[in-house]
Structure formats: C-alpha cells, structure tokens
Amino acid sequence: MENGKKVMLSGIQPSGELHIGNYLGPLRHWPEMIEEFDCYFFLADLHTITVRQEPAELRRRVLTLLASYIACGLAPEKCTLFIQSHVPAHSQLAWVLDCYTMFGELSRMTQFKDKSARNADNINAGLFTYPVLMAADILIYQPDFVPVGEDQRQHVEICRDIANRFNGIYGDVFKVPEPYIAKVGARIMSLSTPEKKMSKSQPEGCVFLMDKPEDIMRKFKRAVTDSDAERCVRYAPEEKPGVANLMQIYASATGKSYEEIEREFDGKGYGAFKPAVGEAVVECLRPIREETERLLADKAYLESVYRAGAEKAGYVANKTLRKVYKKVGFLPG
C-alpha cells in the first residue's frame, strides 16, 4: 500500500491490438483508477504463449501495447507498468500454488474447455494450469482489488480459493482480493455484426487504435445499419442494433446524448450519419495514435519505463515470495 491507497492490479495479454471497444469500454476509465488506487498494470506475455506465437511479432505487440497504455493516460510516474516475464517471482510462486490447487478445480474451468476446443492440436499443460499462474500474478502483489469482467470472474474465484486454502494451512500469508466491478463505459459491438461484441477476430468490423484515418472512415462507411425503409437515426437497440451501436460510439466519442444525436441527424439518413461517426472516432483516436507512434520511436524511453516498472514490481513480489518460501519450509538462499 502506497500513500495509504488501496492496491489494484490488472493484466492484459499482448495477443492483439487494442481497439475502440477496449478504449471506450474499460480502458478510458483507468486513468481515474490510478488517482484512486496504487495500481499495477502488467503485460501478460507468459500467458500468451499457451498459443504458439511468432517471437518478433510478440515483442512488437508488447512494446505497442505498452506505448498505447501510456498514450491512453497511464502515466508511468503514477502507476507501475511492467512486463510479466521480467518478474520471475510470478513463475516461482505459480509452481508453489500448483501444489495447492486441485486437479478437479482446474478441470472445471470454462476457459480451459473453450480454448481446448479451439486449439485441439495444442492442449498443453500451460493451458491447464493457466489459472494458477493468474492466481500467482494477483496474490504476489497482495492487492485489495482486481478489476474483473464476467469472462474472468471464475479465475478470480479460484484465486480466492487457492489463497484461502494456503492461508488455512500457514496463517494469513495472502490478502484475499475482492473482485472490482470497474466502470465499463460503452459496450461496443462489431461494425459488421452488431449482435456480437467488437473483436480483433473480426478485423473488418473492428476499429483498432492504431488504424489510419482512411481505414477508420472506410470501416464506418461500410458499417451495418438496418433495412428499415425510414432510414432514420433513432436509438432502438432491439429493432436497430447496428444504428444503436453507431449512436453509442458517437455518443462516447463526442459526449452527446442520444436525444441530441437524433436531433442532429433528423431527416439526414445514414449517408450523413455513418461518416460523421467515423470522423468523430478519427478525432477521438488521433492524439492516442500520434502519441503511441511518438513513443514507439523512442525505444530507450519505453525500455526505461518497463525496467523501472519491473524493479518496483519485483521488490514487492519478492517480499511475498520470501514469505511463502519460508512458510512451506524452503531454506533461504
């Protein structure tokens, strides 16, 4: 705990580019979190290799993600930004926790079943023990809170189970973290399939933070609206999911209400509306893209950020690891 603040920890896999669903959703609110909490943000490169990666591409994505985080407002002087593999204590604690996690618990994990079905030719042990490494990522920093979406709730629950089991044997070693339901912002759907969340797996329906303005405009001009004969801009998610999604994006990018948007485009139709949404997104993302590009050109600065972050994170992580090693009976090195 720093300056009396509660500790918050969050990690993200560098498995793809950030898109506006990430930014207009939770990421936009993270700068508020770093004012309220002592925050640790890490790039989970160890988790990424449960699926085969091209090494040079993985390194590029890690640096791009780090630069994008900073460009989105995660100032390194206000939080701890680091790369997971640069703090060996994560993997060291994971092995200890493996020995306090039951086979049956891991077998029931929904994500293991889903990923096994999608990667039938590569069902590796890392995929199976993924939740234990995730528990180590969390518990080693003794955080009070972990921001969690619905898809990660099961991982936080098994983390709490492992912590309680270990504490039940050895005393209060780990702080048992609470899930933190962060401000999620807008829930952005795919431009091409508005019934589904925006995802990097559907690049034509996905607007990435680093997309060029002309690519953003092209994607919005092709965005699915509806076959409604009136072709009016009206917020009706059930009847007009494509239009409602575009209105939500426009509202998030401009700060306008749905009523204001309906008045602005009254009688103008989709031919005027879709390019306007695209232009608003271009201007919303322009400073982020330009700052990310500037940072990527300064590799020395980015290296100084992740080295300083790993040093600070390592100091905290190693204190927990030494305590755990002593509890289980390891001799000090």
- Active-site annotation holds for 5: no
Q: Are the beta carbons of 155 and 179 closer than 8 angstroms?
A: no
pLDDT of residue 230: 66
- The whole-number pLDDT of residue 201 equals 81
Q: Looking at the predicted structure, is the pLDDT value of residue 149 above 70?
A: no
Q: pLDDT tens-digit profile of 182-231?
A: 666 678 999 999 999 898 888 889 999 999 999 999 999 999 988 766 67
Residue 60 has a pLDDT of 95
Q: Which of 5, 6, 175, 200 is the catalytic position?
A: 200
pLDDT digits (tens, 9 = 90+) for 152-166: 677 789 999 999 999
Residue 268 annotated in active site: no
Tokens of 172: 């209060």
Percent of the chain with pLDDT over 90: 68
Is residue 2 predicted with pLDDT exceeding 60? no
Q: For residues 246 and 157, give the distance between their C-alpha atoms in angstroms, rounded to a whole number.
A: 35
Query: CA-CA distance, 50 to 323, in Å (whole number)?
Result: 29
Answer whether 106's CB lies under 8 Å from 134's CB: no
Sketch out the chain's domains with CATH numbers. 7-186+299-328 (3.40.50.620), 203-293 (1.10.240.10)
Residue tagged active-site, from 197, 312, 319, 327: 197
Q: What is the reported pLDDT for 187?
A: 83
- The yes-or-no answer on residue 219 being catalytic is no
Task: Check residues 122 and 196 and name the one with the higher pLDDT.
Answer: 196
What is the pLDDT confidence band of residue 321, given thresholds at 50, 70 and 90? very high
CA distance 313 to 143: 12
